[in-house]
Structure 1
Amino acid sequence: MARQTPHAVPFDETRHKHVPSLHGKGDDFINLGEIIATLFEWKWLILSITAFAVSVGVFVALVSTPIYRADAMLQVEDKGTAKGGIAALRDVEAVLGDSTSVAAELEILRSRMILGRVVERLNLTIVAEPRYFPIVGRALARRHANADAPAEPLLGLSGHAWGGERITVQSLEVAPDLVGMPLTLVVDEGEQFRLLDEDGILLAQGAVGILVNGERVSLFVAELVARPGTRFDVSRRSQAEAIASLRGVLEVRERARQSNVIEATFSDTDRARASAILNEVLNAYVRQNVEYRSAEAESTLAFLEAQLPELKNELDTAEAAYNNYRQNRGSIDLTMETQAMLSSIVKVDNDIVVLQQKRDELRQRFTAEHPQVQSVDSQIARLRALRSTLDKDVSRLPDTQQTALRLHRDVEVSTALYTNLLNSAQQLRVARAGTVGDVRIIDSAVTAHQAIAPRKALIVLLSGVLGALIGLGSVWAIRALRVVVEDPETIERELSLPVYATVPESKAEEEIDRRIKRGRNAGELLAVAHPDDGAVESLRSLRTTLHFALLGADRGSVLITGPAPDVGKSFISKNLGAVLAQSGKRVIIVDADLRKGHIHKEFALPRNGGISEFITSGLSLESIVRPTIVEGLSIVTTGQIPPNPSELLMHERFAALLHGLETQCDVLIVDAPPVLAVSDAVIVGRLTGATLLVARAGRHPIGELDQAVKRLEQGGVSVKGFVFNGLDLQRQRHRFGYQGYQYQYKYSA
């Protein structure tokens, strides 16, 4: 049963003041019931947006190009373990450098030095791929990727690739202004092709397997499998661009802190190409590491090999001079004292030469002021001072002994120096051959069989979540932009006018209305066909409260109108009349909407012979009152639609019409046009005893209802109250509190 108000509130100046709600304290809190009700009200919009988003996500997941990832692993060793087979060569240990920093190796792996070698070796500056149909072309082509022959074109689009096309461009040289520019290779008959620039100008023309030289381009195509007419996108990138592209998908990181293990990954749309490129990166990195570790040994070895021929010549010269002297002077034996002096001189000279070589090596890396260089200089100075002392001792020997000692000394010194230098050179050769670097490949690059992207399930899930959020946001935006009255309490609170009845939505009435519009079932009323419908029950409560609306009125007529079209005023008028007639009252319904009146259709009556004819043609009152299928209920139609409805309603015969009808019935119901659309309702309202405004749930802002009341009051029509129509009980069922209460009581067999 609909909520009732047993009295009418007269209009006064306080009506437009805000009246606090009995439930106003709930405004400060989130009304969960209102949220649930709103979601159910807009559930189809939310579901539609979500379904559309999910379908878009499924489409994106299906057409997205899969991306595969290859991974590999390196170990960066400390210098002590990296030397391996040459660890015993302690004499050249300083040449091989210090321990390795993992952070530095990570940067080296991504450096232009390494990636540049990979770009050159794999010819990555050349880009050549088939031209696919936009959006879905790649997805369709993947279905024929392993076909023996190219797939047939769809929809006759032979210029695009549809699967099975291949091209291998081994060399491509272009003019500087064409670097980075997109070129088009068009396949012709007999493995012929044409190369066009972006403006379609021919740059070169040739065949597969033949070097093509043009004015601005040189091209060698090693393989071309495609239908004639198929187009390929070809371009020559700069090395910097190719390195940047390579670096963008290469990831290197230390697998665990201080583990000295580097994990490298590379992503690409081609599974085989991903592992090939990553393996080449690792090989280039290992090669440069070995080259760097052996670079200093190579430099020292080059220095020693340059000194060896000179020392060999000095040794040969010294031996020749000593042998000649002995032949000329005969065999000369050195005394014990002379031999001891010779040994000392030879040792000092050898030490001086070794230190001098060490100084030359240090001077390649340091200046003369460096502490290590100065330390060597001081040692050389002490040895030379000792050598001067020994020279003074030699000068006291006999001449023959001095000469023999000097020549024998030259031989001994040259032999010792040459032997030491030769041994050092041999050790460095062994060190250079045994250098393996500080890094080693633990796992070569392997590409996973499953693609890492797109993650189809995640895309669909996220698209569904995003669609739901967009749907909820759309509902919020609609609700925020459309501030409308959803419950009758708002009318009472804001306008201080009673709501005499709250009429719920009726599915049965919607079906009846559709059948009447199609002309299939005229003359059917909800109050007659479905007397137990909730809307009819609410109208029965309005029948009871109508008595209070007419209290104090000098006429027994009721004007029913609304602020705007399509609020259900005609539905209220005809079914209220039927309910009143069923209670034993005599009821006449007057269709005063001389513009779009249609009540006659619901009663299967003709329009002619109504108000227009009564006013203009002088028809009698009895001739225009027509009985209906409901006993006690009669109707007065609009008659022919006149060109001047307002003027007819202002005619004295219309007032006489209403006055005469009031004497023939208990209740006269007048259905008038909308208040805000035309002025007809104000004209009719001055001739009736009471005026009720029909408001539809979710249709009007409160300002529109207030404006309708003001419009009537300014014309001298006092509005008794409202009939709130079209309340969604499904929505109300999810609301909590007083606002959600809707009672129904029906008979059951």
Structure 2
Amino acid sequence: MDNNSKDLSRHNTLRGTDKDNDLLGLLLVLLRGWKIIALFAILGLIIGVLYVRYENPTFKSDALIQIDETSKNLSGLGSNIAELLPPDDSSMQAQIKLIRSRMVLEPVVDLLHLGIKLNDPAVNKIDRIKNNQTNVQMNSADGVVLETSDGRVQISQFNVTEDYLDKPFTLSRTKTGFVLSNDSEQFQGQLNKAHRFIGKSGLIEIMVNDLPTDGHPIDITKQSLQITTDSINSALSVVEEGTKTGMIELSLSGLNQKQVSLILEHIVRSYSAQDQTRSSEQTIKTIEFMKKQIPELKQKLKASEAIFNKFRENTGTIDVAQEASILLSENAGIDTQISELKLKRADLTTYYTNEHPLVIQINEQLGVLNARKQQIDNTISALPEVQREFLTLSEDVNIDREIYLTILKNYEQLKIVKAGEVSNARIIDLPINTNRIVTPKKQLIIMLATLAGALLGALLIFIMNLLRNVVKDPERIESKTGVPVIATIPRSAVLSRLSMNKKAAPRMLAHVDNSSLSYEAIKSLRTRLILSMPTVISDSPKAKVLLFTGESPGVGKSFISANLAEVFAQLNKKVLVIDADMRMGELHKVFGMSQYDGLADYLLLDDSSLQLNQFNKSADNQIMNDVSDFSLENFIHPSDIAHIDFMPRGKHPSDPESLLISEKFEALLTGLKSQYDYIIIDSPPLLAASDAMVLAQYADQVLMITRYDESMEKQLIYAVKQMYNSNTRVDGIILNDVKQGLMSKYSYHYRYTYGYADNR
């Protein structure tokens, strides 16, 4: 494999690793925020439970209707009469629209008093959650009923004029009956008695049968027909089952199973009745038309027969030639056709105008027949006058008889059809009470609410993670600040457990966790600091001053300072630890000492109290020449750890920064350098105070401590920038409290313990 192939393979491998790391990083963000996710999931669970208890259960009823073809009712009439009736629009969409129409729903609304709405104002949201299900009104042909905690509400009649529609009223029981009131009016009446009240906006008709006791108010409203039918249609589903099956499925949902089934049953019956009325209307109109025509046609037939008989009596029987007979037969047939067409036209004009295509078609046929008839008449006119008159009278009688018998026959047939006529809508299934709750689906809602809460918590964690932009990646810290990360200190599991006890004093790693990665990281930091500081060859040793600061409180300066001093002492180096955070320093707790008699106390003493005008310059370089005159030992205390001295912060001064700027502090630090190998100064956070900028002038190395996954990246960058603005170089950044294992993307996934082996 050539070098290019190797590079490409390595590049693809790195890309795949980066993607895996990104996905792992997202997963780890969620794992670190599991408490927030769990909290939101619990909140979602609580909201879901409250919702399913607040919402009343919804029930559903179904019905099935079959739509038959209209032509089945007229199959016995023959094609001639069937053609007289207008075509029926039996499309499913038309029938669905018809079912939803006010024509079908209004009779149901009036019968069941669906326009009357009752509400119990005493039932609030807390009651709905507490009771899990509240009472709803029941409408029937007898009236409206609503159960309350203080008794039943029963209204059998409530009608108002248009101005009172959709306006709320209040009903209350009294000793003598009831009171009906609104914002500006009040009416009194008696129970079980119909009343007619004349108000400012019109008439009110009401009959109250029962009301709750103890003055329990009830809200009552008369809804308009439009609002009521819209409400029914919003809960009503009408769909064709299958394709071109002629089956329509109806379903209605509501808060009361019996109520839903009752309303849907009456809707189905109302539609069936309307459909039957519509179907019968066509037949009835045709019968009525024929009933009016029969007497007239019968009278006309009698008149033509009388004239023909009288003519025969006067003239006797006349033979008609063969040609005349043919013409007569043809002419009679034409006249019959003309009569039938005129009858059709007369009937059609009762439904349509003269411009309708069927009427125009009949007129055209009449024109053709009349033309032929005129031609035959011209031929017959050549016959002798007596024969011509005989043919005319005979023709009139035949035509009148044919028309009369046809109409009479069809009339009797229509009467038979009318007697056996049924609705085109065949009711297959009426609604029944299933008592199955359709909504809310409690388990599903609770599960979805919990899942939604968890997802919201996860989203919040991602947003917080993006907004917080905490310190995590050492490489990113170096690129943003320009300062190298010289050490990453892993979290000590033992110290973390001990720190959960708030009353327990902080402990050193060497005492409780000396085989941990944290302790090894402190030693590695010691090695790096030793190697990074130049060795000064001099007859008199001079201490290396290390300044530890951070961008904000709580980053672990005291932890790093104390444990680093301990590992330096292991090399038989004399170390002085100074708690220069005179405001909130807590290093004294680590060493188990008092905070008083420390740095602030020393710097606040007058020069006359301490004879510090000169240090002993003898060969043994002791701190003091005469204890009775020089009392610095009162402020520097030996610790329990060999080679480590400690100067606590002292009492809280009013202006710590001015004390650090003073010549007295400079003289103190200059004198102490000759007595120690290392001086470790723990200073206040940079963003809280500017003390660190002053102390940095005396330090050989300035180290910035930041806490993994807690310190803000922007604050760290700003703190480093502040140091540079004060002409101070930050020599390194220490990333403290790095969490190991799968909970962190950038931590070191060590899986061993570095310590003493068991040589048994």
Structure-2-length-normalised TM-score = 0.80
Alpha-carbon deviation of 1:744? 3.9
| Structure 1 counterpart of 2:108, from 101, 118, 130 | 118
Match of 1:538 in 2: 521
Correspondence 1:681 to 2:692: yes
Alpha-carbon deviation of 1:180? 1.8
Match of 1:10 in 2: none
Structure 1 residues 112 and 381 mapped into 2: Cα distance closer, same or farther (>3 Å)? farther
* Superposed counterparts of 1:639-654, under 5 Å: 639-654=650-665
- In 2, the alpha carbon distance for the partners of 1:469 and 1:723 equals 35
Alpha-carbon deviation of 1:716? 4.3
Q: Report the AA paired with residue 571 of structure 1.
A: F
Correspondence 1:426 to 2:412: yes
Q: Is the 8 A contact 2:522 2:564 kept in 1?
A: yes
Match of 1:607 in 2: 595
Deviations, residues 153-200 of structure 1 (Å, cap 9, x unaligned): xxxxxxx9866965443432324332222x143332569333332x3x
Deviations, residues 255-287 of structure 1 (Å, cap 9, x unaligned): 111222222222222212222222222222222
Deviations, residues 670-726 of structure 1 (Å, cap 9, x unaligned): 111112322211221222322211111123444433333343344443332122112
RMSD between aligned alpha carbons? 4.0
Q: Is the 8 A contact 2:485 2:734 kept in 1?
A: yes
Correspondence 1:504 to 2:490: yes
Structure 1 residues 522 and 101 mapped into 2: Cα distance closer, same or farther (>3 Å)? closer
Alpha-carbon deviation of 1:446? 3.0
Structure 1 residues 196 and 55 mapped into 2: Cα distance closer, same or farther (>3 Å)? same
Structure 1 residues 76 and 742 mapped into 2: Cα distance closer, same or farther (>3 Å)? same
Q: Is the 8 A contact 2:469 2:712 kept in 1?
A: yes
Match of 1:595 in 2: 583
Match of 1:60 in 2: 51
Structure 1 residues 427 and 675 mapped into 2: Cα distance closer, same or farther (>3 Å)? same
Counterpart of 1:31 in 2: which secondary structure? helix
Deviations, residues 228-268 of structure 1 (Å, cap 9, x unaligned): 33333322222222222222222222211122222222222
Alpha-carbon deviation of 1:141? 5.2
| Structure 2 counterpart of 1:735, from 723, 727, 745 | 745
Query: Which segment is superposed worse, 305-314 or 230-239?
Result: 305-314
Q: Is the 8 A contact 1:559 1:690 kept in 2?
A: yes
Correspondence 1:367 to 2:354: yes
Counterpart of 1:300 in 2: which secondary structure? helix
Q: Is the 8 A contact 2:236 2:251 kept in 1?
A: yes
Match of 2:635 in 1: 624
Query: Which segment is superposed worse, 415-424 or 581-590?
Result: 415-424
Q: Report the AA paired with residue 443 of structure 2.
A: A
Q: Report the AA paired with residue 637 of structure 2.
A: R
| Structure 2 counterpart of 1:308, from 287, 291, 294 | 294
Correspondence 1:694 to 2:698: no
Match of 2:717 in 1: 706
Deviations, residues 32-60 of structure 1 (Å, cap 9, x unaligned): 22222212211111221122112212221
* Superposed counterparts of 1:236-315, under 5 Å: 236-311=222-297
Match of 1:130 in 2: 120
Structure 1 residues 136 and 521 mapped into 2: Cα distance closer, same or farther (>3 Å)? closer
- In 1, the alpha carbon distance for the partners of 2:122 and 2:57 equals 15
Match of 2:754 in 1: 745
* Superposed counterparts of 1:228-627, under 5 Å: 228-311=214-297, 335=317, 337=319, 354-364=340-350, 365-367=352-354, 370-376=360-366, 378-379=368-369, 396=386, 418-510=404-496, 512-513=498-499, 515=501, 520-522=503-505, 524-552=507-535, 555-582=543-570, 584-617=572-605, 618-619=609-610, 620-627=631-638
Match of 2:66 in 1: 75
Q: Is the 8 A contact 1:555 1:689 kept in 2?
A: no
Deviations, residues 491-517 of structure 1 (Å, cap 9, x unaligned): 33444433332222345445555656x
Structure 1 residues 26 and 481 mapped into 2: Cα distance closer, same or farther (>3 Å)? farther
Q: Is the 8 A contact 1:563 1:693 kept in 2?
A: yes
| Structure 2 counterpart of 1:666, from 677, 688, 693 | 677
Q: Report the AA paired with residue 223 of structure 2.
A: R
Q: Which runs of 5+ in 1 are unaligned?
A: 1-21, 148-159
Alpha-carbon deviation of 1:299? 1.7
Q: Is the 8 A contact 1:254 1:262 kept in 2?
A: yes
Match of 2:627 in 1: none
Match of 1:19 in 2: none
Q: Is the 8 A contact 2:516 2:753 kept in 1?
A: no
Structure 1 residues 713 and 357 mapped into 2: Cα distance closer, same or farther (>3 Å)? closer
Q: Which runs of 5+ in 2 are unaligned?
A: 1-12, 138-145, 537-541, 611-630
Match of 2:165 in 1: 179
* Superposed counterparts of 1:137-216, under 5 Å: 137-138=127-128, 140=130, 166-181=152-167, 183-189=168-174, 192-197=177-182, 199=183, 201-214=184-197, 215=199, 216=202
Structure 1 residues 632 and 227 mapped into 2: Cα distance closer, same or farther (>3 Å)? farther
Q: Report the AA paired with residue 580 of structure 1.
A: F
Structure 1 residues 615 and 136 mapped into 2: Cα distance closer, same or farther (>3 Å)? closer
- In 2, the alpha carbon distance for the partners of 1:424 and 1:88 equals 7
Alpha-carbon deviation of 1:317? 7.3
Match of 1:17 in 2: none
- In 2, the alpha carbon distance for the partners of 1:97 and 1:72 equals 30
Q: Report the AA paired with residue 633 of structure 2.
A: E
Q: Report the AA paired with residue 432 of structure 2.
A: V
- In 2, the alpha carbon distance for the partners of 1:245 and 1:138 equals 23
Q: Is the 8 A contact 1:196 1:203 kept in 2?
A: yes
Structure 1 residues 378 and 528 mapped into 2: Cα distance closer, same or farther (>3 Å)? same
- In 1, the alpha carbon distance for the partners of 2:403 and 2:487 equals 123
- In 2, the alpha carbon distance for the partners of 1:652 and 1:23 equals 57
Alpha-carbon deviation of 1:565? 1.6
Match of 1:87 in 2: 76
Counterpart of 1:73 in 2: which secondary structure? strand
Counterpart of 1:69 in 2: which secondary structure? strand
Match of 1:6 in 2: none
- In 1, the alpha carbon distance for the partners of 2:269 and 2:160 equals 30
Give the share of equivalent positions with the same residue, in percent: 27
Correspondence 1:45 to 2:36: yes
* Superposed counterparts of 1:15-34, under 5 Å: 31-34=22-25
Q: Report the AA paired with residue 81 of structure 2.
A: V
Structure 1 residues 742 and 662 mapped into 2: Cα distance closer, same or farther (>3 Å)? farther
- In 1, the alpha carbon distance for the partners of 2:717 and 2:407 equals 113
Q: Is the 8 A contact 2:603 2:665 kept in 1?
A: yes
Structure 1 residues 288 and 176 mapped into 2: Cα distance closer, same or farther (>3 Å)? closer
Structure 1 residues 394 and 133 mapped into 2: Cα distance closer, same or farther (>3 Å)? farther
- In 2, the alpha carbon distance for the partners of 1:165 and 1:332 equals 97
Alpha-carbon deviation of 1:142? 6.2
Q: Is the 8 A contact 2:704 2:733 kept in 1?
A: yes
Q: Is the 8 A contact 2:491 2:736 kept in 1?
A: yes
- In 1, the alpha carbon distance for the partners of 2:527 and 2:520 equals 11
Deviations, residues 392-435 of structure 1 (Å, cap 9, x unaligned): 9795289xx98xx97x9998877765554333322222222322
Q: Is the 8 A contact 1:128 1:168 kept in 2?
A: no
Deviations, residues 597-626 of structure 1 (Å, cap 9, x unaligned): 222233342332222232232452212111
Deviations, residues 415-462 of structure 1 (Å, cap 9, x unaligned): 765554333322222222322243312222235431221122222232
